[in-house]
């Protein structure tokens, strides 16, 4: 038994109170004879997870707690935990007992024995691994996300979505400045953001069923995952926000046409009146959708901010529409392009205008 600290086990938690003492007992067993510490990174869970962990820390100095107040996020929690240890190796494991902690000593042995290996990944998709009792829906979703990440990021792992791995702390520390910290997929982030290709080995484990508490993986997280992937791959060419803004703009055109046909065709209103209603409906639709999605992180809330934001968004878009029509008409008159190309360039200019000004004046800080 060495006297030096060998391993830190980082445990991101949100509402895992009941699992805390069980996990520590299991780590104690699995890592008997090794020098280790556990670092809970808790986002101020309402159920008092941090308190439960500190209770243990009082009698067992191997148990440490980072309590983050006013922040949420699995990836960023893992990053903070990994940076908070003096141990040369650091593992990340879920706090809900779904990962197999008995793999930890084997991972540690492997990293200690093979100096050129950067990390060891617990995989559900190599021989001997498994996803336990997942329903078919989740298996399909997980397989899709896995394939997507392998294609988009060229990450050569059978289970790039795994949240269970061990890495040399130095390697993690070198990669941190390049990480986005968004979303759920810290391993994927590390693998794809590292300035040099990392050497990874995979070891099988079977994903266990959760018995206490509940999963935090929901649609918002799935969406964040897709955004993070996009950002990694294309973010430098077309920023995520602009892509979302434009996609929502396209939906807005659909709303416009629907409202227009409702008023003009079905209700027999005048074309001008129908157009005005359609434009107002489309702008309002775009404003609220952008507020909820594109600018989720700086969302306007409350009646007054929403009303102010809506008014300035409509102003920005009105000028954008004039620019759109003006540019298209100019190009068309100059016979520089086909009519359709002129119109598309107008649309593009209008979109860039709307995006640039609304990000500054509607959702700017």
CA 235 to chain centre: 14
Shortest separation between residue 19's beta carbon and ligand GDD, angstroms: 8
Q: Is the dihedral of CA 2, 120, 204, 139 positive or negative?
A: positive
Query: Residue 181 or 235: which CB sits closer to ligand GDD?
Result: 181
Binds 74, which of Mn ion, ligand GDD, none (CB < 5 to 8 A, cut-off by type)?
A: ligand GDD
Only segment of 46-54, 57-65, 88-96, 201-209 that touches Mn ion (CB under 5 A)? 88-96
The string of DSSP codes covering 197-250 is PPPEEEEE-BPPPP-SS-----HHHHHHHHHHHHHHHHTTTS-HHHHHHHHHHH
Query: Residue 12 or 249: which CB sits closer to ligand GDD?
Result: 12
CA 197 to chain centre: 22
The footprint of ligand GDD on this chain (CB under 6 A) covers a number of residues equal to 23
Indicate whether 53 belongs to the interface with ligand GDD (CB under 6 A): no
Binds 189, which of Mn ion, ligand GDD, none (CB < 5 to 8 A, cut-off by type)?
A: none
* Spatial CA neighbour of 322 closest among 314, 311, 312, 334: 314
The burial of 240, by beta-carbon neighbours within 10 Å (0-12 exposed, 13-18 middle, 19 or more buried), is given as middle
CA 339 to chain centre: 41
Indicate whether 43 belongs to the interface with ligand GDD (CB under 6 A): yes
Cβ contact 94:163 at 8 Å: yes
Indicate whether 95 belongs to the interface with ligand GDD (CB under 6 A): yes
Cβ contact 34:7 at 8 Å: yes
Indicate whether 129 belongs to the interface with ligand GDD (CB under 6 A): no
Binds 43, which of Mn ion, ligand GDD, none (CB < 5 to 8 A, cut-off by type)?
A: ligand GDD
Shortest separation between residue 154's beta carbon and ligand GDD, angstroms: 19
Residues 286 and 170: their CA atoms lie apart, in Å, by: 45
Q: 3-class DSSP state for residue 12?
A: strand
Shortest separation between residue 69's beta carbon and ligand GDD, angstroms: 12
Q: 3-class DSSP state for residue 54?
A: helix
Residues 231 and 235: their CA atoms lie apart, in Å, by: 4
Binds 80, which of ligand GDD, Mn ion, none (CB < 5 to 8 A, cut-off by type)?
A: none
Element (H, E) at 90: strand 89-92
Sole binder of ligand GDD in the list 37, 96, 100, 118 (CB under 6 A): 96
Query: Residue 161 or 282: which CB sits closer to ligand GDD?
Result: 161
Cβ contact 225:183 at 8 Å: yes
Task: For the segment 154-193, give every residue that binds ligand GDD (CB under 6 A).
Answer: 161-163, 184
Q: Could you tell me which residues come within 8 angstroms of residue 361 by beta carbon, excluding any fewer than 6 positions away?
A: 312, 316
Sole binder of Mn ion in the list 15, 75, 98, 146 (CB under 5 A): 98
Sole binder of ligand GDD in the list 74, 82, 317, 327 (CB under 6 A): 74
Sole binder of ligand GDD in the list 16, 100, 118, 224 (CB under 6 A): 16
Task: For the segment 284-343, give every residue that binds ligand GDD (CB under 6 A).
Answer: none
Residues 144 and 140: their CA atoms lie apart, in Å, by: 6
Indicate whether 15 belongs to the interface with Mn ion (CB under 5 A): no
Indicate whether 12 belongs to the interface with ligand GDD (CB under 6 A): yes
Shortest separation between residue 36's beta carbon and ligand GDD, angstroms: 18
Residues 324 and 71: their CA atoms lie apart, in Å, by: 41
Query: Residue 34 or 208: which CB sits closer to ligand GDD?
Result: 208
Binds 72, which of ligand GDD, Mn ion, none (CB < 5 to 8 A, cut-off by type)?
A: ligand GDD
Indicate whether 96 belongs to the interface with Mn ion (CB under 5 A): yes
Residues 8 and 85: their CA atoms lie apart, in Å, by: 7
Interacting residue ranges for ligand GDD, rule: CB under 6 A: 12-14, 16, 41-43, 72-74, 77, 94-96, 98, 142, 161-163, 184, 215-217
């Amino acid at each position: 038994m060495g006297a030096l600290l060998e391993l830190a086990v980082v445990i991101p938690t949100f509402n895992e109170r009941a699992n805390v003492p069980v996990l520590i007992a299991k780590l104690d067993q699995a890592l008997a004879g090794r020098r280790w510490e556990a670092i809970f990174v808790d986002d101020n869970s309402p159920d008092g997870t941090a308190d439960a962990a500190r209770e243990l820390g009082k009698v067992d100095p191997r148990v440490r707690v980072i309590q983050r107040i006013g922040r949420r996020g699995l990836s960023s929690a893992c990053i903070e935990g990994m940076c908070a240890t003096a141990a040369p190796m650091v593992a990340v494991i879920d706090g809900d007992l779904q990962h197999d902690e008995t793999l930890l000593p084997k991972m540690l042995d492997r990293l200690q024995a093979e100096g050129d290996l950067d990390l060891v990944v617990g995989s559900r998709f190599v021989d001997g691994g498994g996803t336990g009792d997942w329903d078919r829906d989740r298996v399909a979703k997980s397989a899709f996300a896995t394939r997507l990440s392998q294609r988009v990021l060229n990450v050569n792992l059978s289970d790039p979505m795994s949240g269970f791995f061990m890495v040399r702390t130095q390697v993690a520390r070198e990669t941190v400045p390049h990480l986005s910290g968004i979303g759920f997929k810290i391993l994927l982030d590390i693998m794809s953001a590292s300035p040099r290709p990392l050497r990874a080995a995979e070891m099988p484990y079977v994903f266990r069923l959760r018995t206490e508490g509940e999963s935090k993986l929901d649609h918002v997280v799935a969406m964040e995952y897709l955004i993070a992937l996009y950002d990694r791959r294309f973010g430098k060419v077309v920023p995520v926000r602009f892509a979302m803004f434009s996609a929502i703009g396209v939906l807005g055109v659909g709303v416009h046409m629907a409202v227009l046909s409702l008023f003009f065709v079905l209700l027999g209103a005048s074309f001008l009146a129908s157009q005005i209603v359609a434009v107002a409906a489309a702008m309002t639709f775009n404003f609220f959708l952008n507020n909820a999605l594109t600018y989720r992180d700086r969302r306007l809330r409350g009646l007054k901010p929403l009303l102010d934001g809506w008014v300035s968004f409509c102003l920005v878009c009105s000028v954008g529409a004039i620019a759109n029509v003006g540019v298209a008409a100019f190009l068309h008159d100059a016979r520089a392009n086909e009519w359709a190309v002129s119109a598309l360039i107008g649309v593009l200019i209008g979109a860039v205008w709307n995006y640039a000004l609304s990000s500054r004046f509607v959702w700017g800080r």
